[in-house]
Every structure is written in structure tokens, then in C-alpha cells.
Chain A
């Protein structure tokens, strides 16, 4: 085996970072020109600051973790740059806030890498992670607010800044799952009680795991945060599969999902409504299906190359700067733009799984695979919902949508992925 050669600089990353820097600068310049404002450097402050942050983060990574994956950060930065352009275009007053969140996101990523005394340190604090995450989410029952009028009190607020605890919970839960599943990996692979062809997991050993999962699902269902519930269940199933390698668990899990989904459908009228809209949005185009119909219409209006920034009418789509940002991208940048976004997520997911595959330590691999699944599945859940492929549940499109908690949580994920990668490749 050839030992990784020591590198002192990250050339690929620096080269690729030119792209997000240019994307935001050109995008903001286009917005200024389209609005007929003066194209002066002082109007492009957010763009220059972003470029400076990119360079600073890059320099810090070069010094501290020269061997960590070089593609992850540029891919994420490109999505962030596009997100800032779109948010600025859609809700100009939120553009600067989004840039601020992205900057804070970089800081969170750097802090994660700096403060974490090694990835394996995390496995020791799995119950603390789980408890802290759950506590945060449960606290929204008492303290939760609904700043956007979405009908669900999913946010905690302090001094005009709102935070969505389920965003952080998903990261903490992945840490917990990875740690727990890694400990019981052999048991899982061996399997528990058998009923003919079906092998059940060794349930008694996994009680804390199931308890944790059920508690999370219960809390989220009660809070009507269906998107997050779906996401958590997918993560659990994916990580169980990765840890055990048994596809029978996946079949079993999907069967349970069908039962659970059927029960939720029966129990909650808002779930029924979501499913009805999914099956036929057109007949409800003026009522409950309005958002989806307008989203699809915006996408269709964009065609292959889009109307051009500011020349479309995405503002007819409710929540277009958060959940439905893909509709705005599709309308103004066309199929070319929306497919580019899909390609970026594909690349991000590819790099994430590559990090997991390269990791020699099973906990790190599980952690990386789980975190990557979070980003991938969350993108698929909202994209699929906005494209009428599945019932619509409100989650953000990672790194693109407006939203501070989402940006910070995703940079926390990036930081952890880079940490796994850095440990793996350390010469």
C-alpha cells in the first residue's frame, strides 16, 4: 500500500473555489443591472466578503487539514453562492441575512474541525448528544414559535433570531446511531430471532436505539414536522443497513414504514390532505394545491434556459425562497440551472460516500455515510415533493434554501465529514 504523500497546499480546492466566488459576484451584479441600480463595488459587498471568507477558510484548511477532501467545500460553497443569489433576488431584504448565515456556517465548519478532539471522541457522548437533541426539540412544545405562519411551531427564538431544533437534532441523531450501531455491529450482522425467511434484528440489544427513534418520530409527528420524521426514519434505515449489511432489515423497515404511513394517514387529516394534493394537485389549483401547482407552473415557464434572473415570476409560488427555491431556479435559470443543482447534490453525495468508503474506522464510516444520507435524502424529499413525485413535506433544500438553522446544521455536517476525511488521510 502506498502511503498518502504529504501535501502542503490544496490546489484543486483553490481552483474550484473561483467558481462560487465568481457565481455570487456575477449573480449579484446581474441583479443590480436588472434592477437598474448602479454597478459599483460598494453594492457588491456581500460578494467580496463571501470571496474573502472562501479564501480565508481555504487558507485555514490548507494549514490545519491539508489532506482533507478538496471537493466537498467548493461544492457546498457553489450551492451557497447560488442560494444567496436566488434569495437576494426573491426577497432582497433577506439576501444579506442569508450571506451572514453562510459566513456563520463557515465558522461553524471551522469550529467543528478545531474543537473536535478526534472523531471517535463523539462516540463517548452519544447519550448526551441524543438527550440534548431531543430536549431541544421537545422544548418547542413549550417555547416553540411559528415566525413564518406555516402552521407548525418548530422554531425557538431568541432576540429576533429563530432556530429550528430539528435541524440540529438530525445531526445529533446520526452521531448517536453511528456510535450505537457500531457497538452492536456484529450482533446485527449475526441477526436475532428468525421466523422462516425473516430474520429480525436482535431487538433486546437495540432497545435504546428503537426508543430513541420512536421518541423522535413521535415528537416530530406531534409537531406536524412530517418532512423531518420521514428524513429521520430514512436515516435510521440507511444506517442500520450500512452497519449490518442485511437487506432483509431494509425490507422489514419499509414494511413497517408502509404500516406506519397508513396509520398516520388514517390518524391525521393534514396527512390525508398532503396525499390528496400529491395525487391530484390540479383539481385543487386554487386552494390546497396552489403552492404545488404554482411551483410546477414556474418550472414549466422556465423551459430549457429560463427567463433569466429577475425576468420570471417565481414570487407567485408560496415559500419560494425556502422549500420551493428549486421552482425559482427552474423558472429563471431553466432546466439547465435546475439540472446543475441536481448535479451538485449528486457530487456532494458522491464525495460524502467516498469519504465513508475510504474511512478505515467503522464508526467514522458509519458517521460519514449517515451524514451524507441526511443531505441526500433531505434534498430528495423536498425536490420530490416540489416535483409532485411524492407528498410534499416542508424541509429546506440543503445549503440553497433561505434559513439559518438549516445552513448551520449543514455546515456542521460538512465539518464532521471533513474531520472524518482528515483523519483518514492523515499521512
Chain B
């Protein structure tokens, strides 16, 4: 009987040992995974306990704040024009954009003063989040949003020297203060108002991509910018018919004018001939051309290399979600596709953010600035964390001389050619328009503009797109001019 009792005791002891080990398994080894599951109501409960930090613009204007209400803390957005930057914070729908990116600061999980934060949590004091100060200017943002109106499109404005984003507008927009009531409408709306088009939508860029093609040709030393050539005849480039009608009034042009007047024939040829030595562009071309004799591969490689430097084919490091801009879909290159890509058609897709950075790169002497939205986070005690370093770079894209040449060409475009609506009295403006064929045949083209001002000391670079609205000159360019002028008025000092 004693042995049996001993064994029974051993069995129960083993049972408790297994229970103890299992407690360790759930409470220690599986802890992180279980706590982060959506079935854990504590995430939401703890969020309700936090006095979430405010989001401010560069001038201290409140963009998002948390106030106490009888039903608990409530997040409100006094300036709904900045919705696509701040994103929203909702116990039910989660958080997006800056609310998501700097969530750890805003909810006080990360602080410039970690000791203080630890002390508060030990004493079970209510967590007060840090304030996040953005580079956005709420006034300029409002202006950009108004420039878009209700038409689907996007505006990006940044300081080309520092990379600080001044405005990032997307239309249509939504009111983050009324998310609960409008959620189902918003998610079912085919125009996708919750979507930030400025960084998350990729569009056919059309003629604004000539900036990249031209940059490659000039940087490679393939083109004499001042040599005049006669350009009147429609050409058949491996089945792609391209003409010179964009500058029908000018029979003889040079490369600068071909850029300013957005000559498709010149840029299709430039794209195709990037791998073939000095460019010959006139009507008196003798066949076979370089690419016809040697194949398009060398040209493809050179265009791809420059496009990659301008941010195509990779995610731009940025605080908001970004779409990847691409030169081409999944298929192979063929001559007429390369020719179309040279003037921004074909399968190429680009986000407004990347095109704004392309303009900023030229404005910045050929170095692409690293874009950023978060300036600093201020802990409740006053300690400050720098979120980004102004003047960061994503690398040199073209030589300074190339950038200077493109600067001249973009100024010419504003002074004399299609980008004339971008003129600002007393200020030199650089710009390029785009009218991008996209969608089914006969669809109204996208209206694009990229530019910067003042051209001799750039303070602001912009990209504007209106989806399927018409010519770049008619719609995007005046909107770009308004935004640039507003920025210069705000920062003339």
C-alpha cells in the first residue's frame, strides 16, 4: 500500500510539473505571439489608457489631437486637409500613415526619455505620448488640396535641398473625424478616398518622364544640346509611328527645344539610341540606325540604370506606404516599347512622389534628396528626439553639369513652351508638363506637371497629377504654379 501511495503521489507531482511547464510555455515562450493576436482585447484597452500625443505641422498648427470625452479619449483632426498625411487612428480600424509610422512615439511606447517612461509605467501613471512635429505646412497643404478640388489626383511639394515634404495632397479625401459613420461608404467607393495617391498610386508619366531620358542622354555625353536639326517627318520606329506635331510651328529645333516642346520623335529616338554613341536626331537619318544594327540591349541597360537612380524599380524609403515605380511590366523589352518608354508611354508607371523627387533632384544639382515627413518627437517632459536628418540624400543621380543643363531646359519650357502657365512674376521657374495616354483607347489623358522655383535657388519642388483630365498645360501646370507660388509667398522671409 505504501508503494502504491508513493507512486500515486509521484503521478500527481508529475501532473503539476507538466502544468507548471505549460504555464511557462504560455506565459513566457508564447507570450509575444499571443499578446499581438487580434483576439487580445488588451491592445485596444491599453490604447484607451494612453493620452496619445498630438501631431503638429512645422508651425505648431495642430493636425491631430486626443481629447477626453465621457466615453473615453477621442482622436480628432482639426484640419481634415492633412488627412492623407496624418492618416487616422481608430480603435476599430487601426491606424495609417503618420499615425501608424510614429505610433510608438505617439502612444508613448518610445520616448526621448526612457527612464521617465519606465518610472511612469512602474507607478501605473497614465501614459502620455510624445508630440510628433511634421515638416508639413498646413496652409500649403490646404492650398494643394484646394488646387486638386474634388478631381482625383495628387500633389507633392518638398524642399529640394532638405527633402522635407511641405505638402502631400491626394484627392478624393475623407474626414477622419467621421470614420465610424462613413467607413462602409469609404471602403466601397470606387474612387478609393482612403488611398493616398501621392505615394501609393503609380501612373503612366507621359512627357514628364522625358526628364529622365534627357538626363541619361546628357549625362552620358551623347547629345549636343545646341545642334539644330530638322524634325518634321513622322517616323516608323519598328512599328511605332512617332511624329513631331508637338512643335509643328518649329521645323528646326535643338535638343533643348525638343524637350521644352516635348518632341516625342526626338525622345523615342533618344531612348532607342542611348546605347549607340552620339545621338543623330534629324530628318536626314540614314538607316540602319544604331539600335537597328546592334540591338536595343545596350540602350535598355542605360535607360534602366538611370531610371533606377531616379527611384524606379525599388521602394523609395519614406515614412508613408509607397508604391514601386516601374519602367516596364513583366514582359521582355522590344524596340517599339523602348521607344515609347523614352517619351514616357508604354508600360511605365510612376508615383507622384517619385516624379516630385526627380524634379527635386535636378533642383538639387543632381543629388536626390531623401524625402521625410517627421521632424521631431517631443516627450511630455520636453525631451526631443530628432526623427530625420534634413539634407539626407538618396544618392547622386546625374552630374552637376547635367542637372544645370536640365535646369535651363526646364526653364525654357516655362518661359517659352508648354509649361508657360507655371510662370510666376519675378521668379524663375523650371517645369515640365506631361499629357499621358492611359487606360482604354480614347480615354482622357492624365494631366501632369513637375517643376520647381526659384530656378536659380530652388525652395520648392512639386509634382501634380490630375487623373484622366486632359493636357498637362491646361490643368496640372496652373495647379503646380499655385502651389509653388504659395510656398514661395510663405517662405520668402
Residues of A within 8 A of B (CB): 238, 241-245, 285-286, 293-294, 296-297, 299-304, 308, 311-313, 316, 330, 334-335, 338-339, 342, 345-346, 349-350, 353, 356-357, 362, 365-366, 369, 373, 376-377, 379-380, 383-384, 387, 389
Contacts and interface: CB of A to CB of B under 8 A. Distances in A.
The A contact surface, by secondary structure, is helix
Contacts of A353: 5-6, 8-9
Interface in B2-44: 2-9, 12-13, 15-16, 18-20, 22-24, 26-28, 30-31, 33-35, 37, 39-42
Contact of B35 (A244, A300, A346): A300
A365 B5 CA distance: 9
Given A338-B23, A339-B20, A297 B39 contact: yes
B42 A313 contact: yes
A294 B8 contact: no
B389 to A, nearest CB: 36
A376 B35 contact: no
B5 A369 contact: yes
B26 A300 contact: yes
A297 B40 contact: yes
A377 B12 contact: yes
B5 A242 contact: yes
B26 A299 contact: yes
Contacts of A377: 12
A334 B34 contact: no
B18 A357 contact: no
Contacts of B4: 241-245
B285 interface: no
Nearest to A182: B1
B8 A241 contact: yes
B2 A342 contact: no
Interface string B353-372: 00000000000000000000
A380 B39 contact: no
B226 interface: no
A360 to B, nearest CB: 11
Contacts of B33: 300
Given A303-B27, A308-B124, A389 B35 contact: no
Given A330-B23, A349-B16, A389-B19, A301 B1 contact: no
A380 B19 contact: yes
B45 interface: yes
Contacts of A243: 1, 4
B217 to A, nearest CB: 59
Contacts of B3: 245
Contacts of A316: 41
B26 A242 contact: no
Contacts of B30: 300
Nearest to B45: A313
A369 B10 CA distance: 13
12 contacts: A241-B7, A294-B39, A300-B33, A302-B27, A303-B31, A330-B27, A335-B24, A353-B5, A353-B6, A353-B8, A376-B16, A377-B12
A346 B12 CA distance: 8
Interface string B456-467: 000000000000
A322 B183 CA distance: 40
